[in-house]
Amino acid sequence: MSQKILIIDDERAIRASLRDILEYEHYHIEEAESAVKALEILKHTLFDVIFCDIKMPQMDGLEFLEHAKSLTDAPIIMISGHGTIDTAVEALKKGAYDFIEKPLDLNRLLVSVRNALERKNLVTETKNLKTKIQKTDEIIGDSPEMKAILDMADKVAPSDARVLICGENGTGKELLARRIHNRSLRANHPLIEVNCAAIPSELIESELFGHEKGSFTSAIKQRKGFFEQANGGTLFLDEIGDMSLSAQAKVLRALQENKITRVGGEKDIPVNVRVIAATNKDLNAEIAAGNFREDLFHRISVIILKLPNLNSRISDLPELVNHFINEICKSQGKPNASISEKALQELSKRTWTGNIRELRNIVERLVILCDKTITDKDVKCYAG
């Protein structure tokens, strides 16, 4: 797939000239005759490199740079026929990757594009590597219940559809959200995970939307919120049913208009974010009780995925237990352990109110306290 480049210039001749040069090098080109039009394009299209003129009506290139940072991480190469050292320095300070004077030098232009692409690829690879090292999206289970959910999640992933994941605590909602993000077209962009239940209600709006310096007592500097941090990628709102009604109203606006306003700020900031939400609550009951906005529910629930609890997919338990044993032994530097068939049967008789999380905790306890082979007696003694 050819790399995409956006050309922003109010002069048609310059856009045509750049297009001819770059298409000859097999890049896919899109054009915008103004910075305002370019910002609209960036809300729904990802690019690998952007060329932007500085002197333009309505909004100049330097102002565009400030707005574009919240919409894209593509390197932006500034071009100008009225270039000065001061202008170039200001552009670079505002985040431009490079500055090229008109008339454009062919070799200089192509070298800048190649370098910008190499840098972007390096940044992307580093992000991907960190994600793979830090977090997995592996979901264990071959039961019909899990296969149906995973098949639906994989179908949904390449789209930008908003997803609501429902399920009891410990069923793997966060893992499923990661799986959807990692299989989406946004996989090279951030996945920002937010536990709404863990953030005090008085801070949730600042955390989600950011704040301006001085907007409240402890706001000693400007801060970007989770929506801005997730720009171009995915925002996972875990336990969304615990979000305050005032924060729900702002989230609804962000989803409707694709823009947010920082706490204490007046400027609208455009954002390009896919939202995946999760809850262990019955949101229809919460709506009836006046605790959750019905209009927000309809915004976040284009696709609803209901994760089964462990008791309803007990056939997956042996595979899960063996996976956890191997994982725990490896992480703790212990010799490989095993579990007897009778021990697995004993575990299968339990009622798993904490689901997969509870199972993993018990397996870890058994690995630590038992001999190389975990028996049914061990389960009766240590599983509680």
Architecture of domain 4-131: 3-Layer(aba) Sandwich (3.40)
- Residue 369 CA to residue 292 CA, distance in Å, equals 45
Indicate if the pLDDT at residue 132 is higher than 60. no
How many whole angstroms separate alpha carbon 309 and alpha carbon 295?
A: 28
| Residues 258 and 70: beta-carbon distance below 8 Å | no
Q: Look at 55-69, 159-173, 309-323 and tell me which has the smallest mean pLDDT.
A: 55-69
- In single-letter form, the type of residue at position 51 comes to F
Any idea where the domains of the chain sit in the sequence?
Answer: 4-131, 135-308, 311-382
**Per-residue pLDDT tens digits for 346-369:** 999 999 999 999 999 999 999 999
R_g (Cα) of the chain, nearest Å: 26
CA torsion 41-94-207-72 (nearest 10°) is 30
The fold of the 311-382 domain, in CATH, is: Helicase, Ruva Protein; domain 3 (1.10.8)
Confidence of residue 329 (pLDDT cuts 50, 70, 90): very high
Relative orientation angle of helices 12-24 and 106-134, to the nearest 10 degrees? 70
Q: What is the reported pLDDT for 129? A: 62
- The CATH homologous superfamily to which domain 135-308 belongs is P-loop containing nucleotide triphosphate hydrolases (3.40.50.300)
pLDDT tens digit string along 22-71? 999 999 999 999 999 999 999 888 899 999 999 999 899 999 998 998 88
Residues 6 or more apart whose CB falls under 8 angstroms from that of 64 comprise 8, 35, 38, 39, 52
- The whole-number pLDDT of residue 32 equals 96
Is 220 or 196 the better-scoring residue by pLDDT? 196
Q: How far apart are CA 32 and CA 42, in angstroms?
A: 11
What pLDDT score does 164 carry? 98
